[in-house]
Amino acid sequence: MTHQVVLVVDFGGQYTQLIVRRVREQGVYSEMVPWTTAAEKIREVKPTAVILSGGPRSVLEENAPTLDMSMLEGIPTLGICYGQQLMALRLGGVVSNADHKEYGKRAITPVGSANYLSGLDSYEVWMSHGDQVQQVPPGFSVIASTDSCPVAAMANPEAKKFGVQFHPEVTHTLAGKEILRRFLKDEAGLVGDWTTENFIEEEVAKIREEVGDGKVLCAVSGGVDSSVMAALLIRAIGDRAVCVFVDHGLLRKGEAEQVIETFGTHFQGNLKAFKEHDRFFGVLAGKKDPEEKRKAVGAQFVQVFEDHAAELQGCEFLAQGTLYPDVIESGSATSAKIKSHHNVGGLPDWMTMKLVEPLRWLFKDEVRAVGRSLGLPDDMVDREPFPGPGLAVRVLGEVTPDRVKMTQDADYIFRSELRARGLNKGIWQSYAALLDVRSVGVMGDERTYEQPIVLRAVESEDAMTARAVPLPFDVLEHIATRIVNEVDGVNRVFYDLTSKPPATIELE
């Protein structure tokens, strides 16, 4: 099936992935493409519309990211922040360094009437810019401004070219979704023909074409991503999707047993389980650097699969639950690498199986929707995210069986107390992590020199941004008391209040 496609050209903006997500929320298929390869992609895809993202650089710099605007002739285009400035500069307008830089919430004032910013419920927007358009190009008109930004938005409806200096994709722009909807539906004429059901149908066809008569080793962890991936593969190729669970000893308390039971119930026993605690703890011994730990875990996963190749009946393909945020955080042509994900950047060069990643371009909420459409139970679909390397990245410093057990026990207390009070509802992710430091304490009138636990619980929509959950103090105090009293080796408990950004959801 051929969809209408919106290409989002990435100029290195921190919110670019959110633009893609907001477009998809309108039922419109969208892909992100680096500005360096955008011209080729536009020729190949022939998009119905294009959005130019923000970016950290100045359009006035030498060798600044750019795009040949003639490529966009006849294509409805929306420029956001840097994208508006680039469009204005390349089409004959004037851009300059702003006398008053704008960062944070601002109120725009509409200029004129009968444009796609008319009659919004709110004009509070999120600005983040140093340069700004001083004079619009020929054929454009100013449709919004602020006290210090004369061209907060511009439009040339005849040419289907539009620009905004603010960021409609972030939630701080209160009418942002409506602004994007108006551009996509009213100005660009998109009908919204991309649905969860369409995705399943098309991905099943792609899997069948890619795999042919071959077998796929489907790496599962019991998490949302791998479970949905397994269900999708089973839908596509049935028993030729060989589900494999590697118990590496780095899961949450009791989780290995739960995974085996769940897959036996919902996947008709189509699961092979390998207990490999010694292998993983062996390769992690002495390693403290988080990147080294992630890559070591990723390498061992593949080594386990290859060591059991005969038992796995010669699978030629390896399926993984890689998601779009994994790809973004592992680095792309225009974005910095935040961390390697074992299923994106940490696999070894010697891996011989071909990768199959059916969820690679989906956000977490889209994966959950696919899971529900595939008939997976809510307790599986709504499971909190858990990192592929498991507790290897929640035990800061060296990973040992004793330190993992401390983390498992503290995590179990924290999460079970939240569930008992109904506080887990609305939490995106909650966990306990063990710090690689020691602190002085007093227990039983004796001095202790033991390790602290950090608790973290965040709210999020897609894992790209997150905010700490304001848990009641008395609950945190009770949990801290339980952890210190019940977990040997812990004498302090902290609660992490940092948002993402500047932090990440995981500590490592």
- The catalytic residues are 81, 167, 169
3-state secondary structure of 185: helix
Closest by CA position to 218, among listed 322, 148, 68, 140: 322
DSSP secondary structure string for all residues of 221-257? -SSHHHHHHHHHHHHHHGGGEEEEEEE-S-SPTTHHH
CA distance 84 to 398: 48
3-state secondary structure of 160: coil
Query: Which whole-number Å values give the CA distances from 142 to 88, 181, 193, 240, 389, in the listed order?
Result: 12, 20, 32, 59, 51
Positive or negative CA dihedral for 498, 500, 503, 505? positive
Cβ pair 263, 377 in contact under 8 A: no
Terminus-to-terminus CA distance in the chain, angstroms? 41
Cβ pair 341, 294 in contact under 8 A: yes
CA distance 475 to 418: 8
Query: Which whole-number Å values give the CA distances from 440 to 395, 410, 437, 443, 489, in the listed order?
Result: 20, 19, 10, 10, 12
Enumerate residues 6+ apart whose C-beta is below 8 A from 386: 221, 223, 251, 252
Torsion of CA 203, 205, 209, 214, to 10 degrees: 80
Residue 430 pairs in a beta bridge with 457
- Kindly state the helix (H) or strand (E) to which residue 490 belongs, with its residue range: strand 490-495
Enumerate residues 6+ apart whose C-beta is below 8 A from 77: 49, 50, 51, 52, 87, 160, 161, 162
362-393 per-residue burial string, b: 16 or more CB within 10 A, e: under 16:
bbbebbbbbbbbbebeeebbebebbbbbbbbb
Packing angle of the helix pair 196-211, 224-237 (nearest 10 deg): 60
What is the β-pairing status of strands 271-275 and 241-247?
Answer: parallel
Mark residue 63 as left, alpha or beta (left: phi above 0; alpha: psi -120 to 50; beta: remaining): left
